[in-house]
Chains A and B, each alone.
Chain A
Amino acid sequence: MTFDRDRHTPFEELISASLHGDLTADERNRLDAHLDTCATCRATLAAFSDQRRIMSGLRHMPVPRDIGARVRAGIEQEQSARPWWKRPPAIFAGVGGGLAVVAGALLAIVLLNNNPNDRDVGQASPTPSLPAASVSATAVPTLAPLSTPAPTQPPASVAPSISAEPAPTATPVEASPEPDGYLAVTGPPDNQVMTVTDAATREPLAEAPAAVPIAAELSPDGQWVAYIVDVGTGSGFTEIRATRITEGLSSDESGAPTPIDSPVAVGETITLAESVGGTPFVEHLFWSSDSQYLAFTAVSRDGGGTDVWIFEPSRGTASRATDTGTAYAGSWVPGDTETSLLWISTAGETPDSYLRMFHDDAGAIGVADPEDSEFPAAINVFQPILSPNGALVIYWTGGMDRSEGELEWTFSAQGGPWLAVNEQAGERGYEFVDSRQLFSDVFLDREAFTSAAIRWSPDSDAFAVWGAAWEGIPQGSETLYPDPARIYLGRATRSGHITIDTALDVGDLPPDATVVDVKIAGTGRHLAITARHPLGGTLSVPEADLLLVTRNLGKLADEVDSLAPNDGRWYGPAFYSETDWAELIGD
């Protein structure tokens, strides 16, 4: 028996291999000769051939239909955890090619250069007036706290040990696609009322004097909705207002901060400042991450230019923080300590930006020259907008211009938005490194984006740009590009830039509609868009749809739903809550 098996085994291997034609001529001859004389091996050949036929007849099972989506989700999830500069080189060759040169060159420009009046690199640096302990970075765990190096240490040797990696994205899994609330202007034309509305129930949370809201931001603690309204059709006048809608979440064992008390009662609306509508640069509201402050830009109605104002909910008042007439609010540096850092930009032929420190217990906010900052200036940087986790930044750079009679500055030659990593740099404040042009396929030479509206998603990854005013020759061959009517989406961790291909589908918005406001959900792919319809006549009321667009990639069309009644009234802007909305509003 053993003898027989050993005798057949070598030929079994040849039989097995013959099924695939994996035999040499010599092996073929040997096998054929053996088969002529061996019934056992002929039976084996027949059995193996049958087996192969049976196996090849196995049913082909259909692939689960969602496998593509699952793979894509897995890839995106993995990528979202990786900063773009650590992505595989092959994927980023397009970014790292031509742009790398530009980015590298720009890096030298956008680093927070020393104030001309300040020390040179390598010279002794004055210690910032604030102790380091007062500025911690608990909200941005990947960024080291500001350090206050000894004055004798050269900057190069005192660079803090930092990690440039963005903090993990903000709960993308739990993020809701739908906004939590929105502003609405409803009622008959002669008796309209504005409400802050719960998006889920469409029930009003608070009422306010009617006006057309064009921007809105919910405070991180959920107590306040700050918004900008057009106060008269055609006048161009706007107001910045705030309505207190809740008392915030009460402190509990989990260590939640005590809600900020305010003299303003829930349901009350206060006007923070009067302004004039204009570019997106003045229609942006910035809450500090601890909800202590709201920063905004107001345009003087008597030609006094633009200045930064700060609203303090704890006082229930807003104060002018600058009086240069060229100042614009940028975003706050995320953090939840007793000290808050705000970017303030000054417009001019070239812009600069400065960090100003606010202390929660320092009394009323007063006017100060932005240049009197204890931090070096960010030369040729305008309105930096940090991602919610503080790891990334979108800012403007380039030449600026202001025509005679114009109240506002806009960008001219080589002006445009850029995306960078926000790195802490000791006494130099922050550095914007790895800069890249936000619109990677638009060549900025003599041409420029004069302005555009920009918003981050709460996930600190996705961002949207709309109202992109491009003064140069259109760059698209078949479609207008950059198109001020389109919304462009980008992801910092995917490609880190926008191109003609990243525009939202044309069909997502009603024909002739104008984008007023865009909010991105924490999912990174759902957008709450306020789309204004053209006025139907002098007696008609302003009308806007509030749309929820689910962004689909590739050739798959986006999904569009209406978030509010389609009754010819004004709905939007929307806002997303960072806290438990149901608990917040007492549902």
Chain B
Amino acid sequence: MAVPGRASWVQPAVTGRAEEDQEARFARLFEEFSAPIYNYVLRMVSDADRAADITQDTFIKAYRKLDTVTDAAATRSWLYRIATNTAIDDMRRRRMVSPMRDDEPVFANRPDPRPGPEAEVMAGTLDERIQRALMTLRPNHRQCLLLSDLEDMSAMQIGEVMGLSYAAVRTLLCRARGEMRRALAAEGLAR
């Protein structure tokens, strides 16, 4: 049964057993994660077209490397890592980020917080304000906050996605929450 909001995957006519397994595995991966990945990326870049492009690239890369992932439990983190890196690459190309060091001033290279065309896809006032707040965060703060609160990942899982230690994730997440608290307050959404 089709799940609303999920993209459907048209499985190609495959031939050999191994290829069939590979295609079936990829089809399952796509069915399960295309929507979450797209939403995660959308919140990262705040642009529907770019989010679609990054999602597309993510799954193409995943297809290419699917045979390298043998641990089913690690598949989710692996896929989010691809999406995260692809989104970072995209943002770098667009000069939205500078090297992400925590000791940098928070507002250096900060993207324009004013709502742009992307606001059109973020229908609803509350959504717009949250998204505006999110976009004031440094990208790595935004990533870990989204992975934690949108994707409900543990610090360990976030570490796998972002390539950070457990302790580093906890520190980063705390700073991201503090930063987001201020940003939400600026939007009138936090105490």
Q: A residues bordering B, Cβ < 8 Å?
A: 9, 12-13, 15-17, 19-20, 22, 43-44, 46-48, 50-52, 54-65, 67-72, 74-75, 78, 88-95, 97, 440-441, 494-495, 497-499, 501-502, 552-556
Contact A75 B60 (CB under 8 A): yes
Bound Cα distance A44, B14 (Å): 54
Please determine whether B10 and A552 come into contact, CB atoms closer than 8 angstroms.
Answer: yes
Taking a contact as CB atoms under 8 Å apart, the answer to whether A58 and B130 are in contact is yes
B80 at the interface (CB under 8 A from A): no
Q: Nearest chain-B residue to A95 (Cβ)?
A: B16
A552 to chain B: which residues have CB within 8 Å? 10
Q: Is B13 an interface residue (CB 8 A)?
A: yes
**Residues of the A chain whose Cβ atoms lie less than 8 Å from the Cβ of B124:** 59
B98 within 8 A of A: no
On whether the beta carbons of B11 and A91 are closer than 8 Å, the reply is no
With A63-B55, A72-B12 already in contact, the answer to whether A43 and B191 are too (CB < 8 A) is: yes
Given the contacts A64-B7, A497-B15, A553-B12, A46 and B170 also touching, CB distance less than 8 Å: no
Q: At the interface with chain A, which of B89-97, B105-113, B175-183?
A: B175-183
B71 at the interface (CB under 8 A from A): no
Q: Does B165 contact A (CB under 8 A)?
A: no
Contacts of B190 in A (CB 8 A): 47, 50-51, 54
B39–A16 touching, CB < 8 Å: no
Determine if A16 and B173 form an interchain contact, defined as CB atoms under 8 angstroms apart.
Answer: yes
Within 8 Å CB of A440, what residues of B?
15-16
Q: List 11 A-B contacts (CB under 8 A).
A: A12-B174, A15-B174, A55-B130, A58-B131, A70-B56, A72-B9, A92-B19, A494-B12, A495-B15, A555-B10, A556-B10
- Pairwise interchain contact A68-B30, C-beta atoms closer than 8 A: yes
Please give the distance in Å from A61's CB to the nearest CB on chain B.
6
| Chain B contacts for A441, CB-based, 8 A | 15
Query: A22-B170, A51-B177 are known contacts. Are A94 and B17 too (CB-CB below 8 A)?
Result: yes
Selected from B4, B155, B171, the residue in CB contact (under 8 A) with A20 is B155
Closest to A554 in B: B11
Are A70 and B170 also in contact (CB < 8 A) when A55-B149, A91-B18, A94-B20 are? no
B123 CB within 8 Å of chain A: yes
Asked if A65 and B7 make an inter-chain contact with CB atoms under 8 angstroms apart, the answer reads: yes
Known contacts A51-B184, A94-B19, A553-B12; A12 and B4 CB within 8 A of each other = no
Residue of A nearest to B185 (CB): A47
- Return A527 CB to nearest CB of chain B, in Å: 14
Known: A20-B155, A90-B18. A55 touches B150 (CB 8 A): yes
Cα separation A502 to B12 with both chains bound (whole Å)? 10
**Residues B174 and A58 in contact, CB atoms below 8 Å apart:** no
Contact partner of A78 (CB less than 8 A), chosen from B12, B60, B66, B177, is B60
Using Cβ atoms and an 8 Å threshold, which residues of chain A touch B116?
none
Most buried by B among A56, A93, A497: A93
- Assembly CA distance A56 to B43 (angstroms): 12
Contact B13 A61 (CB under 8 A): no
Ranked nearest first, the 3 interchain pairs of A and B with the lowest CB-CB distance are A94-B16, A90-B67, A93-B18
Task: Report A-chain residues with C-beta under 8 Å of the C-beta of B146.
Answer: 55
Task: Considering the complex, give the chain A residue whose CB is closest to the CB of B34.
Answer: A63
| 7 additional contacts (CB under 8 A) given A16-B170, A20-B154 | A22-B154, A54-B130, A58-B131, A67-B34, A68-B9, A74-B56, A554-B11
- Tell whether A50 pairs with B191 under 8 Å between CB atoms, given A16-B173, A71-B59, A91-B19: yes
Q: Report how far A25 CA is from B127 CA in the complex, Å.
A: 36
* Nearest A residue (CB) for B59: A71
Contact indicator B12/A91 (Cβ below 8 Å):
no
From residue B150, how far is it (CB to closest CB) to chain A in Å? 6
C-alpha gap A180/B177 in the complex (Å): 62
Q: Is the CB of B149 within 8 A of A51?
A: yes
Contact of A68 among B4, B8, B122 (CB under 8 A): B8
Give CA–CA (A22, B172) in the complex, Å: 14
| Secondary structure type dominating chain B contacts | helix
Alpha-carbon distance between A349 and B29 when the two chains are bound, in angstroms:
51
Q: Closest approach, in angstroms, between the C-beta of A146 and any C-beta of chain B?
A: 35
- Give the distance in Å from the alpha carbon of A497 to the alpha carbon of B20 in the complex: 14
Q: Chain A CB within 10 Å — which of B13, B63, B146 has the most?
A: B13
Q: How far, in angstroms, from A554 to B131 measured CA to CA in the complex?
A: 38
Tell whether, in the assembled complex, residue A89 and residue B63 are in contact, meaning their CB atoms are under 8 Å apart: no
Taking A50-B191, A59-B124, A67-B7 as contacts, is the C-beta distance between A17 and B56 under 8 angstroms? no
Least CB separation from B67: chain A residue: A90
Q: Contact check: which of A48, A56, A68, A498 meets B34 at CB < 8 Å?
A: A68
Interface size on B, residues (CB 8 A): 65
Q: Does B86 contact A (CB under 8 A)?
A: no
Q: Which B67-118 residues have a C-beta within 8 angstroms of A?
A: 67
Query: For the complex, what is the distance from the CA of A48 to the CA of B185, rounded to whole Å?
Result: 12
Contact present for A51 and B67 (CB under 8 Å): no
Query: Do B39 and A60 touch (CB < 8 A)?
Result: yes
Do A554 and B191 touch (CB < 8 A)?
no
In the bound assembly, the distance between CA atoms of A495 and B52 in angstroms comes to 28
- Is A61's CB under 8 angstroms from B154's CB? no
Asked if residues B16 and A92 are in contact (CB atoms below 8 Å), the reply is: yes
Chain A residues with CB below 8 A from B180, complex form: 51, 55
Q: Which residues of A contact B161 (CB under 8 A)?
A: none
Task: Tell me which of B4, B7, B20, B191 contacts A47 (CB under 8 A).
Answer: B191
A496 shortest CB reach to chain B, Å: 8
Shortest Cβ distance from residue B160 to the other chain A in the assembled complex, whole angstroms: 14
Kindly provide the distance from the CB of A7 to the nearest chain B CB, expressed in whole angstroms. 15
Q: Pick the contact of A63: B6, B18, B131 (CB < 8 A).
A: B6
Inter-chain contacts of A58 with B (CB < 8 A): 39, 43, 127, 130-131, 150
User: How many angstroms between the C-alpha atoms of A58 and B133 in the bound complex?
Assistant: 12
Asked if B60 contacts A501 (CB within 8 A), the reply is: no
The chain B residue with its CB closest to the CB of A494 is B12
B186 interface contact, C-beta 8 A: no
Q: Is B35 an interface residue (CB 8 A)?
A: yes
Q: Is the CB of B5 within 8 A of A63?
A: yes
Scoring B residues 125 to 166 as 1 if CB is less than 8 Å from chain A, else 0, what string do you get?
011001100000000000001101110101110000000000
Q: Write the chain A residue with the least CB distance to B17.
A: A94
Contact yes or no, A55 B60, CB < 8 A: no
Query: A60 CA to B146 CA in the complex, in Å?
Result: 13
Contact A88 B64 (CB under 8 A): yes
Assess whether A20 is in contact with B10, with CB atoms less than 8 Å apart. no
CA A64 – CA B52 in complex, angstroms? 7
**How far is it, in angstroms, between the C-alpha of A60 and the C-alpha of B19 when the chains are bound?**
33
**B60 to A13, Cβ gap below 8 A?**
no
Chain A residues, Cβ within 8 Å of B22 = 90-91
- Cβ–Cβ contact B42 & A62, under 8 A: no
Contacts of A12 in B (CB 8 A): 174, 177-178
What's the Cα separation between A74 and B86 when bound, in Å? 15
Q: Is the CB of A495 within 8 A of B127?
A: no
Check A69–B14 contact: CB distance below 8 A: no
- Using A47-B190, A50-B190 as known contacts, say yes or no to A17 and B173 having CB atoms under 8 A apart: yes
Q: How far is the CA of A106 from the CA of B45 in the complex (A)?
A: 54
Q: Give Cα A441–Cα B105 distance, bound, in whole angstroms.
A: 63
Q: How far is the CB of A281 from chain B (nearest CB, A)?
A: 26
User: Which residue of B has the minimal Cβ distance to A52?
Assistant: B149
